[in-house]
């Protein structure tokens, strides 16, 4: 039921996800942040059971932190991070799979370019300009297909994201009142807006 | 001497030394010399080709230079059989890194992996250390061209220029004077001024290019080898550069190309007469 999607622009990536944490007929919380920061210049929007979401994201982000500590501050590029992630999903697949679908967005500080990756629980990986996981794809991809172009600005990309959110809120059966939007660019990862503050307890 | 502390690799002597490791390092001093020089646009590794018998079949591949991956290569001084094990380790590590990250392994990480493997043989298992010293040459997007040296202890360091194998001390002191020094001045006074300038300039300014580095490497080999005349069949010249696509190119110079370098050196020294 989770909505996770992303749009790449010139110099960065926008990641967006809904904030509902629910199972069966029960809503646990409506202010969950499903976009975890992996490193200083990358983040991952994850959909799936909360257990796998947290387990997988922490496993990856701590391994990336270990890499930086072990190698004198050297950073892994978003391409390397995405392939590392995919490798972990692939290894676990035939043992005890992580049931997570991911949109990974990052900014390569060495090359000076942004990249967005679509990854699913079967360890498929694709580099994309925009993408969505789950039911959201049925509603959002057509909007992105029409509106995305090369050389978008951050504001234009946010505009596309907000169009997608409006579409979901009108047409998607499952009500998702709150969305969180983050941007990844040369200045790192930061939250642009949220429906409900994830920090509220 | 502390003979009773000699035989076990995993025991310190009372002076705090690991004798087996030191003996392994000694073993390399009999091996063919290898010179490594870092240049602005590449890395050069030159090695002495030791021909032990004329009955030996002509070598199909180098016994000194080995490609580890697309962007790294190494030169070996010491026991070739030991070196083969470590080279396999290095190639595996580079391959596994690429498998995991779909990216080229940063050169220092590759060197550190081989060195950690060597270190284990100085601390666990009761097996003797590897009798090999390496010169690693590599390129990555983080630090560009790099040159590393490692020894049986598992220690490694990055170098602008270094020598391993027979007569390496003579080679190193020669390099201390010659690496980065401005040449081709007959006027002694001018040379003095230039050297002062180059000391003030950033290190990059006095870094040679690959062609200069090749000449310098051959000069070092001439100094360390017993032979009076240098010729292509006595040495192997390797250089690593970037091609037009930004990919690493590994090249062992042919006999003609090596001869050209030797001729260039002869031409340099000839006009000044006796030096």
Which of chain B's residues have a Cβ under 8 Å away from the Cβ of A85?
none
pLDDT single digits (tens) B10-66: 789 999 999 999 999 999 999 999 999 999 999 999 999 988 788 988 888 888 999
Which of chain B's residues have a Cβ under 8 Å away from the Cβ of A76?
101, 103
Element (H, E) at B93: helix B80-101
Residue B177 has pLDDT above 50, yes or no: yes
CA-CA distance, B179 to A177, in Å (whole number)? 68
pLDDT at position B205 is 53
Residue B192 has pLDDT above 50, yes or no: no
Quick one: how many helices (H) and strands (E) in chain A? Answer: 4, 12
Q: Which two tokens mark B160?
A: 């602008």
pLDDT single digits (tens) A81-137: 999 999 999 999 999 999 999 999 999 999 999 999 999 999 999 999 999 999 999
Q: What is the mean pLDDT of chain A?
A: 97
pLDDT single digits (tens) B259-273: 999 999 989 877 655
CA-CA distance, A18 to A168, in Å (whole number)? 10
pTM above 0.80, yes or no: yes
The sign of the torsion formed by the CA atoms of B116, B119, B124, B130 equals positive
Cross-chain CB nearest to A80 (options B102, B108, B109): B102
Which of chain B's residues have a Cβ under 8 Å away from the Cβ of A74?
106, 142
pLDDT at position B99 is 97
Residues B122-134: b if buried by 16+ CB within 10 A, e if exposed: beeeeebbbbbbb
pLDDT at position B7 is 75
List B145's β-bridge partners, or say none: B139
Which of chain A's residues have a Cβ under 8 Å away from the Cβ of B109?
71
Contact A186, A109 (CB under 8 A): yes
Identify the closest residue of chain B to A88 by CA–CA distance.
B100
CA distance A51 to chain B (A): 25
pLDDT at position B201 is 45
pLDDT average, residue stretch A166-190: 97
Confidence of residue B203 (pLDDT cuts 50, 70, 90): very low
Using CB atoms within 10 Å of the CB of residue B63, give its burial: 0 to 12 exposed, 13 to 18 middle, 19+ buried: middle
Task: Give the angle B23-B27-B29 at the CA atoms, nearest 5°.
Answer: 120
pLDDT at position B271 is 67
pLDDT average, residue stretch B96-110: 98
CA distance B184 to chain A (A): 39
- DSSP state, A40? T
pLDDT average, residue stretch B94-102: 98
């Amino acid at each position: 039921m989770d909505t996770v999607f992303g749009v790449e622009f010139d110099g960065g990536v926008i990641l967006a996800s809904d904030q509902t944490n629910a199972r069966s007929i029960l809503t646990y919380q409506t202010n969950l942040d499903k976009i975890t920061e992996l490193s200083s210049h990358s983040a991952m929007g994850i959909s799936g059971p909360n257990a796998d979401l947290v387990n997988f994201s922490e496993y990856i982000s701590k391994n990336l932190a270990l890499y930086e500590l072990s190698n004198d501050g050297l950073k892994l590029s978003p391409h390397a991070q995405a392939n590392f992630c995919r490798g972990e999903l692939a290894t676990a697949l035939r043992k005890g799979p992580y049931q997570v679908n991911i949109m990974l967005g990052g900014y390569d500080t060495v090359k000076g370019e942004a990249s967005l990756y679509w990854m699913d629980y079967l360890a498929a990986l694709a580099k994309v300009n925009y993408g969505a996981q789950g039911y959201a794809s049925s509603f959002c991809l057509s909007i992105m297909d029409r509106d995305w172009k090369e050389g978008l600005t951050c504001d234009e990309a946010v505009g596309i994201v907000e169009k997608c959110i409006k579409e979901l809120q009108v047409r998607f059966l499952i009500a998702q009142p709150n969305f969180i939007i983050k941007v990844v660019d040369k200045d790192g990862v930061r939250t642009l807006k949220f429906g409900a503050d994830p920090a509220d307890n | 001497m502390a003979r009773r502390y000699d035989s076990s690799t995993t025991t310190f002597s009372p002076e705090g030394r690991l004798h087996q490791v030191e003996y392994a390092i000694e073993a390399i001093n009999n091996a063919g010399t290898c010179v490594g020089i870092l240049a602005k646009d590449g890395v050069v590794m030159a090695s002495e080709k030791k021909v032990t018998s004329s009955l030996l079949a002509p070598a199909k591949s180098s016994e000194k230079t080995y490609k580890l991956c697309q962007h790294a290569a190494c030169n070996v001084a010491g026991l070739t059989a030991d070196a083969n094990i470590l080279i396999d380790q290095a190639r595996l590590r580079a391959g596994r890194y690429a498998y995991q990250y779909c990216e080229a392994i940063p050169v220092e990480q590759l060197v550190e992996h081989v060195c950690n493997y060597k270190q284990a043989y100085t601390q666990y298992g009761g097996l003797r250390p590897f009798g090999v010293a390496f010169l690693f040459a590599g390129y990555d997007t983080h630090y560009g061209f790099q040159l590393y040296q490692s020894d049986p202890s598992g220690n490694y360091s990055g170098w602008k220029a270094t020598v391993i194998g027979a007569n390496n001390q003579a080679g190193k002191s020669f390099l201390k004077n010659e690496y980065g020094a401005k040449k081709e001045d007959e006027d002694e006074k001018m040379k003095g001024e230039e050297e002062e300038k180059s000391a003030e300039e950033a290190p990059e300014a006095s870094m040679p290019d690959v062609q200069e580095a090749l000449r310098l490497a051959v000069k070092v080999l001439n100094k360390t080898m017993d032979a009076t005349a240098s010729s292509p069949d006595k040495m192997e010249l390797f250089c690593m550069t970037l091609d037009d696509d930004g990919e690493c190119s590994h090249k062992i110079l042919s006999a003609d190309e090596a001869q050209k370098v030797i001729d260039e050196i002869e031409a340099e020294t000839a006009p000044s007469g006796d030096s």
